[in-house]
Structure 1
Amino acid sequence: MKKTIISLSGIAVISTALLATNLLEVRAATVGNTSSGANVAFQPKKTPTNPVSPGDGKTPITPTTPGVPNTSTPVASDDGLTLDYVPTLNFGTHYVDASSPHTWSAWAANDGSGKAIPQFMQVTDNRGTATGPTGWSVSLTQTAQFKGTKAGDLTNAVLTFNTDKTNNVVSTSTSKASSTVNTATNPLTPGTAVNIFQADAGTGTGTNLLSFGAADGSSLVTDPESLDASTNTTGKVDPNITLSVPAGSAKVDTYTTTLNWNLYSAPGNA
């Protein structure tokens, strides 16, 4: 008789549990639904990006060129395209040589901590165009021949930018500038623009640097003749930017010229 009672009690307990489950399912039935939204907006960054190291494309630096003040100012568009930095050049002080031509290298830049780095330029594209990157370009013009304060022109002197390197475009972006314009030797003709740096359509977003020479600085050299003959200045020079002066052209004077860097919102506008 005890076995029968236990068996019936077990059935009663199971039935109660099933009933409770059915009641819970009825209570969880959907009554209705509604929806809400989430929003985020972006706008172009209109201020220039501070210069970063050519070595890694991300470490902030304060570049200078020994012996000369940095006279350039950044260029910024209203839609987020900026020319952040261009080099100021110093070719040193040398003795007059009326019988032989000479080619001197530009002094290397300084990263602000005392480390020599290659001369470079920097462009940032934060336009965020809905249809994708449209590209950009930078042209360089030597406005006139090097001119002395008393002696007139440095006749037939040639300023050359050599960008014939495979590792001279630096960017942390996945769509860095990749134009073949960058693999060229560019002797400047005063008054004539050359396309010095370019991002084709679909490339060039974020911050991109064009290093004149190997970006890691391995192409910099110690060349006392290119520094300062009168004071035995020591330091590094960048052999990828040179000034060639014919025999007899230089007189005792200081010669200067102006370099104009123009930023365009599309490739190939030099």
Structure 2
Amino acid sequence: MKKMTISLAGSTLATLFLLSAAATSAHAATVGNTTSDAKISFRAKLTPSAPVSPADGKTQITPTTPGMTNAPTVASTDGLTLDYVPALNFGTHYVDAVNAHTWNAWAADDGSGKAIPQFMQVTDNRGTPTGPLGWSVALTQTAQFQGGTAGALTNAVLTFNADGTNNVVSASANKATSAGNTAVHALTPGTAVNIFQADAGTGTGTNLLNFGEKLGASLIDDPEALDSVNNTVKKVDPNITLSVPAGSAKAANYTTTLNWNLYNAPGNT
């Protein structure tokens, strides 16, 4: 009799468990609902970006040209900036009344004493809702090289991309693209050339126009001993040249000004 009582109790417990499980599996009716918002905001960065290495387009450096002062940066009111342009030093050479010469610009110093190709840098952080608008930089040699009382360095020609090694470097997935970025530019004083451009739909983030091979393989040793002590990186960049006719140079210091104009759309010269 005792054994039967235990068996009935077990059966009753099992039945209660099944009823409880059935009750909890029934679907609840919706009472109502509400919504909440999530938010994030972005704005254009208006200040110029720090120069970055032509080797990878992202490592910050402090470039200079030996013996020269860096140019001021340029910034728009909506996030387009001209971060860096090269100052050029072609060194000191003996006067030659008989032979023409082509001199290479000194390489840049990356801030650690390492020679790197000369370069320029543009950053587009405008974040235009309709997509990248593109941009351009026009370069003008304002006048012929002048040597004070020695006058002009007559018929001298300053050339960019003379060795055909121009290349665009960027860590951005939307690198600046334009056919003119690899063109050879022999400057005519007073005439603008489109030196660097991002066609519409390209050129967001930071982009460099590297005046030389990406890792500096195109740089060569400075062959001029006359002022080699001043060329602290001991390298020259054959991408940027100054051709001087025979008899044009006098014993003087010659200078000119390069004007770099940043535009908020492609194709402005």
Say whether the fold is shared (TM-score over 0.5): yes
Over aligned residues, Cα RMSD in angstroms? 1.9
Q: Does 1:229 align with 2:226?
A: yes
**Unaligned ranges ≥5, structure 1:** none
Partner of 1:35: 35
Relative to structure 1, the CA distance from residue 154 to residue 178 in structure 2 (aligned partners, 3 Å threshold; closer, same or farther) is same
Aligned-pair CA distance for 1:239:
0.3
Partner of 2:67: 67
Relative to structure 1, the CA distance from residue 27 to residue 96 in structure 2 (aligned partners, 3 Å threshold; closer, same or farther) is same
Aligned-pair CA distance for 1:148:
0.6
Q: Does 1:181 align with 2:180?
A: yes
Aligned-pair CA distance for 1:231:
5.5
How does 1:5-84 map onto structure 2 within 5 Å? 5-25=5-25, 29-70=29-70, 72-84=71-83
**Unaligned ranges ≥5, structure 2:** none
Distance in structure 2 (CA, Å) of the matches to 1:213 and 1:231? 21
Equivalent residue letter for 1:251: K
Q: The residue matched to 1:191 in structure 2 has which SS?
A: coil
Aligned residues: percent identity? 69
Aligned-pair CA distance for 1:99:
0.4
Partner of 1:158: 157
Distance in structure 1 (CA, Å) of the matches to 2:82 and 2:4? 93
Aligned-pair CA distance for 1:25:
4.5
Aligned-pair CA distance for 1:11:
3.1
Is this contact kept in 1: 2:135–2:199, CA < 8 A?
A: yes
Q: The residue matched to 2:149 in structure 1 has which SS?
A: coil
Q: How many residues align?
A: 266
Q: Which runs of 4+ in 1 moved over 6 A?
A: none
TM-score (norm 2): 0.93
Q: The residue matched to 1:190 in structure 2 has which SS?
A: coil
Q: The residue matched to 2:218 in structure 1 has which SS?
A: coil
Aligned-pair CA distance for 1:13:
1.7
Partner of 1:253: 252
Partner of 2:205: 206
Equivalent residue letter for 1:229: L
Stretch of structure 1 that moved more, 121-130 or 175-184: 175-184
Equivalent residue letter for 2:203: G
Equivalent residue letter for 1:102: H
Distance in structure 2 (CA, Å) of the matches to 1:221 and 1:56? 21
Equivalent residue letter for 1:116: A
Equivalent residue letter for 2:218: S
TM-score (norm 1): 0.93
Stretch of structure 1 that moved more, 61-70 or 157-166: 157-166
Aligned-pair CA distance for 1:174:
0.4
What CA deviation, in whole Å up to 9, does each residue of 1:202-226 have, x standing for no partner? 110100000001121110000323x
Q: Does 1:115 align with 2:114?
A: yes
Is this contact kept in 2: 1:224–1:232, CA < 8 A?
A: no
Equivalent residue letter for 1:78: T
Q: The residue matched to 1:61 in structure 2 has which SS?
A: coil
